[in-house]
Amino acid sequence: FKGALEHNEEDPHIWYNLGCVYNVMDRLDDAAIAFRRATELGPENVDAWVNLGAVLSTAGDVEGAEKVLRRSIEMRPEHFVGWLNLISLLYREGRSKEAEELHQKALEIIPDFDDFTDDLNEFIENASDE
């Protein structure tokens, strides 16, 4: 991908793919830089926003992750991965009430949201047991 960037460093798809590679390699700082550049060059790419949020969350930037994930939801409310990542983030941060409210809102927008969220439901059950 770096070779491709030498020929076209303004291509948001190359930056997005580079971010995915860095993420798999657990190079979170590099992944965040690449996904952020992808969002600058192609702000309509909701997957770039969602992946940026996930990387920021994993790296411990909760505030940044929340902001980016909320933006992804505003852009495409029917995109369940943004909801899933944001709700999971809020639960991890002990913001259960807010997470539950967002979960209900996601169900209103995406009626079959829970069909995609077995992991989230398990996380919710474990969080409520604590």
Is 129 a residue whose pLDDT tops 60?
no
Class of domain 1-76: mainly alpha
Q: Are 103 and 74 in contact (CB under 8 A)?
A: no
Q: DSSP for 18-39?
A: HHHHHHHTT-HHHHHHHHHHHH
The predicted-structure confidence for 91-100, as pLDDT tens digits, reads as follows 999 999 999 9
pLDDT band at 37 (very low <50, low <70, confident <90, very high): very high
Between the CA of residue 130 and those of 39, 52, 127, what are the distances in Å? 38, 30, 5
Taking phi over 0 as left and psi of -120 to 50 as alpha, with beta for the rest, 94 belongs to: left
What pTM, to 2 d.p., does this model score? 0.84
Q: Which two tokens stand for residue 90?
A: 């809020």
Copy the structure tokens of residue 44: 């309509």
Domain ranges of the chain: 1-76, 77-130
